[in-house]
């Protein structure tokens, strides 16, 4: 996608002082659940999320004579078009004009529950701000590119990594405030189960699904908050895996029942993912569930040995569908990186 516009400082501004080229690497995240999607106390959503290693969006951007967005072989056309729209929105909002070459080296799987849209927008915006010498915060970029309208964990995760809790967006258009950020203990591991080619709800379909669901009862929202505050966060902070795992799994049970009508009556978007993740939860001590609308499922274990042994047992039991792609990863306890080239 090209646009022949020379690079000139807008409206007489001084020449750019940033680097000539940068690379941004932004990790994927798991959305572990909303706290109060109905807003029973006046503030909707609130989210718990976890940034993970092993999945990244990598964007390179450099000044050029003309605008161009290119991509690696595994990057789909939709990501290229999204990057071009984000670039246009950022330039329109900031008054910066001129040619930029954006190369999407790789991107997170789209609509898989890993936060692909937010990480792409933030990576493009971060690179743009660095080249233009603009002091845009991650929240600024999110607002200009239309991200973080429900969950703030992708935005906070981009900056900080780790296990994140936000308080839900306000009515002023600002991203959700970050309430807690904790590193996950280093020995813990996350099994991710993906079904390539299958996608979760997004865009207008997601909006329609949310609108069709009944409000989550206030008692259920209260239990979710109780699980997070008194099990999940203390467990992560103290390295106590059992209460952490029990709290995450209970959250996912409550939310899975609530969102099941939008997913064909199941807490999981993928039957193959459901069979594996539920088997792992029934045969080992693990925190289990689905990230966002899926289809990615997760099982968090207290150690690499526990994760490896559980997967070996699952394979022996015949519950690992050939369609699944499995990964054992760590939590990523730091944010995105920007490297001058």
Residues 218-255 have pLDDT tens digits of: 999 999 999 999 999 999 999 999 999 999 999 999 99
Domain of residue 96 covers 2-183+333-340
Same domain, 247 and 163: no
* Banded pLDDT at 202 (limits 50, 70, 90): confident
Smallest Cα–Cα separation from 102: which of 138, 141, 75, 133?
A: 75
Distance of CA 322 to the CA centre of its chain: 26
Closest-CA residue to 215 (of 24, 27, 40) = 40
* Whether residue 70 has a cis bond before it, omega within 30° of 0: no
Same-domain status, 151 and 28: yes
Residue 3: is its pLDDT beyond 80? no
Q: What CATH number corresponds to the domain at position 14?
A: 3.30.230.10
| Residue 89 sits in the same domain as residue 13 | yes
Q: Which residues pair with 26 in a beta bridge?
A: 57
Domain identity same for 176 and 297? no
- Compute how many other C-beta atoms are within 10 angstroms of the C-beta atom of residue 215: 13
- Same domain for 213 and 95: no
Query: Are 144 and 260 part of one and the same domain?
Result: no
Measured between alpha carbons, how far is 39 from 9 in angstroms, rounded to an integer? 45
Domain count, the chain: 2
Do residues 83 and 138 both lie within one domain?
Answer: yes
The verdict on 10 and 140 lying in the same domain is yes
CA distances in angstroms from 223 to 74, 111, 300, listed in the order given: 42, 28, 21
Residues 148-174 have a mean pLDDT of 88
Residue 55: which pLDDT band, with cuts at 50, 70 and 90? very high
pLDDT, tens only, 266-325: 999 999 999 999 999 999 999 999 999 999 999 999 999 999 999 999 999 999 999 999
- What CA–CA distance (Å, rounded) separates 134 from 96? 10
pLDDT beyond 70 at 8: no
Question: What CATH number is associated with residue 194?
Answer: 3.30.70.890
* Per-residue confidence (pLDDT) for residue 10, from 0 to 100: 33
Same domain for 172 and 213, yes or no, is: no
Residues 85, 197: one domain?
no
For residue 2 the two structure tokens come to 């090209």
Q: Are residues 242 and 265 in the same domain?
A: yes
Residue 135 is encoded by which pair of tokens? Answer: 């002091």
Same domain, 29 and 171: yes
Q: Is the pLDDT of residue 15 over 90?
A: no
The reported pTM is 0.91
Q: Which residue has the higher pLDDT, 58 or 7?
A: 58
pLDDT value at residue 141: 94
The answer to whether the CB of 147 falls within 8 A of the CB of 154 is: yes
């Amino acid at each position: 996608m090209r646009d022949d516009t020379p690079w000139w400082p807008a409206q007489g501004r001084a020449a750019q002082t940033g680097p000539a080229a940068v690379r941004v690497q932004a990790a994927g995240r798991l959305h572990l659940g909303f706290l109060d999607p109905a807003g029973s106390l006046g503030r909707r959503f609130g989210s718990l999320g976890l940034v993970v290693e092993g999945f990244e969006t990598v964007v390179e951007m450099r000044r050029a004579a003309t605008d161009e967005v290119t991509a690696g072989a595994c990057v789909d056309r939709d990501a290229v078009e999204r990057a071009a729209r984000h670039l246009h929105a950022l330039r329109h909002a900031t008054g910066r004009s001129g040619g930029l070459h954006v190369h999407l080296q790789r991107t997170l799987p789209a609509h898989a529950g890993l936060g692909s849209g937010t990480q792409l927008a933030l990576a493009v915006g971060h690179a743009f701000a660095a080249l233009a010498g603009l002091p845009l915060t991650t929240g600024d970029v999110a607002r200009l590119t239309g991200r973080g309208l429900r969950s703030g964990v992708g935005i906070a995760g981009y900056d900080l990594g780790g296990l994140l809790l936000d308080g839900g967006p306000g009515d002023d258009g600002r991203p959700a405030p970050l309430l807690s950020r904790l590193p996950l203990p280093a020995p813990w591991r996350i099994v991710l189960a993906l079904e390539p080619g299958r996608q979760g709800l997004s865009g207008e379909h997601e909006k329609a699904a949310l609108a069709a669901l009944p409000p989550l009862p206030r008692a259920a929202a209260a239990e979710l908050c109780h699980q997070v505050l008194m099990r999940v966060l203390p467990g992560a902070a103290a390295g106590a895996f059992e209460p952490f795992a029990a709290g995450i799994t209970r959250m996912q049970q409550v939310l899975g029942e609530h969102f099941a009508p939008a997913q064909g009556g199941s807490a999981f978007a993928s039957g193959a993912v459901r069979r594996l993740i539920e088997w792992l939860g029934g045969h080992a001590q693990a925190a289990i569930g689905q990230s966002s609308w899926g289809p990615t499922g997760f099982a968090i274990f207290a150690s690499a040995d526990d994760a490896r042994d559980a997967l070996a047992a699952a394979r022996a039991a015949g519950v690992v569908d050939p369609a699944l792609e499995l990964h054992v990863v760590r939590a990523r306890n730091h944010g995105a990186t920007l490297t001058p080239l």
